[in-house]
Amino acid sequence: MLRSRIAAALKSPLFGAALFVCALTMLLTWPQALYLGSKVALHGDPFLSMWRLEWLAHGLSGGAEHLFDGNIFYPHVRTLAYSDATLLQGVLAMPWLLAKANPVLVYNILLLAGIASSGLGMFVLVRHLTGSNDAALVSAAIFTLVPYRVEHFMHLELQWTVWMPLTLWAVHRVFETGSRRFGILAGAFLCLQILSSMYYGAFLAIVVALLALALAASEPQRAIRAAVPLGIAAGLAMVVMFLYAQPYMDNTRTLGVRDLYDVTRFSARLVSYVTAPPQNWLWGWTSNRVVFEGDELHLFPGLAAVALAAFAFGAGSRRITGIYLGLTVAAAVLSLGMNTPVYRWLYEHVWAFGAFRAPARFSILACCGLAVLAGFGFSYLQQHTLSVARARSALFVAVLVAVGVEFGSLPMYLREVPAPVPDVYKFVKTLGPSVLIELPEPLSPWYVYWSTSHWHPLVNGFSGFMPPDYQKTALLMSTFPDDKAIARLRLLGVKYILVHEAFYPSKDYTTLMLDVLKRPELIPHGKYRDWVGWTQLFELQSAAAAAASN
């Protein structure tokens, strides 16, 4: 019995689709698959993500009294909630990290799994809507390869979009069956999206509400029986959002909402939708025509996807295609952020939107809607313009090739992550509970990541938010070890100072060490290898101890 079930599963369209999207993911992110255990994207955010996964494993296993009180930005609390906590990814990573698996390998598998599973989720949705495996595979290819993913290759949480199409699928099933089971599924998928990415959870909730309203308006006879299941879905999502958002809400009271300048800076512009990431080998040149700040605003969805979507209204139900056109446009408009009055109103009146820095990320939901429309369009072309099976197969292959070529990118830019724990952190781990600071560069993802080897409280940090007094600390550390810097370190309760030689010009480092020798309260504890060179470790005596020793 078990053998027959396995054989049937291996022959199912879903299994074939899973292999297909895995292959596409490897091609899109090449050569990441060759370096799963040793390299990550050339950016600071993967190190932040690896710290988050490690901290969650540490905290969920009982290593931290308060899960959201990360060990960074000491003495501040709720520092895990300075950025997306990626709780779901942390739970998935936890057993492997507790078993001492390579954290780089765990991170990269989760990153690629987010991309591949998103394509598989799109396959489920479009296959249900069109009844066509070929159309579903085309939509899956578009959602897997869309240039947005290259733009955010360094962001683990932003690749986890699998719950978007699955939530939409469950909402359709609610209206078709009136089943509470599908209401629970819709709520569960939306909750999983919230736990995967707070950004996407809030954004998806708006799109789901729009879909439910549109389906109710177009199918009033089904709306009544769908009311209770949809209420269940909404209730589940609101409970999870309320509980999960508590540390973020508390942080908002102390840190404030996102700066209006930042939100405007990371709001998409119309030109964003005709500008591809620089790595795209066919359309990368478009990024030279306009200069954006940061890696958020290259949102070109691809001509092939748009062209296929244009044929969507010839296929199946124009009611459904019209609804998805509306959802796509709505998501694109919201991605324009402060460039539209709609988002400005949300920013001013809805708490969650005041906490989001990058409205442009709404565009992934526009890509989701576009992929669905492209599936409808392909289904129409294949079923109504071609009568020969061989010609339909040829069209399927040609469309996949066109999508692959248009979405193809240059090899990903990767950075080596040293595997062995450096000697300096092996020694630091032997120290009793104590507060550390690492110099220079107080705002550093590397120090944050390496703190996973010892879990001491760390003044340094790296995240989406910064505590209001952190810039003052960074400024005072630039003149270390003068009196003001020493006073600041004592105020923060710092006991040990790590000074990384490789990050200073040689002349400045020599001057720094000569100045340190003049400070009797700085007790040397040796010189150790770090991941790029040597680190000097100093113990800072308290004012009372320093006075007594003098």
Average pLDDT over residues 459-471: 90
Q: What is the mean pLDDT of the chain?
A: 92
What is the Cα–Cα distance from 372 to 307, expressed in whole angstroms?
Answer: 13
DSSP 140-208: HHHHHH-THHHHTTT-TGGG--THHHHHHHHHHHHHHH--HHHHHHHHHHHHHHHHH-HHHHHHHHHHH
* Cα angle, residue 164 at apex, residues 98 and 90 outer, rounded to 5°: 10
Would you list the domain boundaries of the chain? 2-30+102-407, 423-549
Strands 522-529 and 494-500: unpaired
Mention the CATH class of domain 423-549: alpha beta
Average pLDDT over residues 74-95: 95
Tens-place pLDDT, residues 92-110: 999 999 999 999 999 999 9
pTM for the model: 0.93
Three-state DSSP string of 315-362 = CCCHHHHHHHHHHHHHHHHHHCHHHCHHHHHHHHHCHHHHCCCCHHHH
At 259, is the pLDDT very low, low, confident or very high (cuts 50, 70, 90)? confident
What is the Cα–Cα distance from 70 to 55, expressed in whole angstroms?
Answer: 7
Average pLDDT over residues 473-491: 95
Structure tokens at 307: 């062209």
At 293, is the pLDDT very low, low, confident or very high (cuts 50, 70, 90)? confident
99 and 129 Cβ atoms separated by less than 8 Å: no
Is 37 a residue whose pLDDT tops 60? yes
Average pLDDT over residues 399-420: 93
Tens-place pLDDT, residues 346-393: 888 887 788 788 999 999 999 999 999 999 999 999 887 666 777 888
Is 162 a residue whose pLDDT tops 80? yes
Q: What is the pLDDT of residue 544?
A: 63
* Cα angle, residue 296 at apex, residues 291 and 301 outer, rounded to 5°: 95
What is the Cα–Cα distance from 462 to 407, expressed in whole angstroms?
Answer: 32
Structure tokens at 116: 């591949």
Is 143 a residue whose pLDDT tops 60? yes
Tens-place pLDDT, residues 196-224: 999 899 999 999 999 999 999 998 889 99
Report how far apart, in Å, the C-alpha atoms of 280 and of each of 8, 107, 300, 302 are: 39, 24, 10, 11
At 533, is the pLDDT very low, low, confident or very high (cuts 50, 70, 90)? very high
Q: What share of the chain is helix, strand, coil (3-state, %, to 5)?
A: 65, 5, 25
Strands 494-500 and 435-439: parallel
Q: What is the pLDDT of residue 267?
A: 94
At 501, is the pLDDT very low, low, confident or very high (cuts 50, 70, 90)? very high
Helix (H, G, I), strand (E, B) or coil at 280: strand
Average pLDDT over residues 113-129: 98
Q: What is the pLDDT of residue 288?
A: 86
What is the Cα–Cα distance from 275 to 298, expressed in whole angstroms?
Answer: 5
Q: What is the pLDDT of residue 468?
A: 86
Cβ burial 460-470 (10 Å sphere, 16+ → b, else e):
bbbbbbbbeeb
The dihedrals phi and psi of 499, each to the nearest 5 degrees, come to -115, 115
- Better-predicted residue by pLDDT, 349 or 311: 311
68 and 78 Cβ atoms separated by less than 8 Å: yes
What is the Cα–Cα distance from 389 to 363, expressed in whole angstroms?
Answer: 36
Q: What is the pLDDT of residue 76?
A: 95
- Better-predicted residue by pLDDT, 292 or 30: 30
* Cα angle, residue 450 at apex, residues 447 and 429 outer, rounded to 5°: 115
Is 548 a residue whose pLDDT tops 60? yes
Percent of the chain residues topping a pLDDT of 90: 79
The dihedrals phi and psi of 526, each to the nearest 5 degrees, come to 110, 170
Is 6 a residue whose pLDDT tops 70? no
Q: What is the pLDDT of residue 354?
A: 80
Report how far apart, in Å, the C-alpha atoms of 343 and of each of 164, 194, 329, 352, 441 are: 21, 20, 14, 12, 35
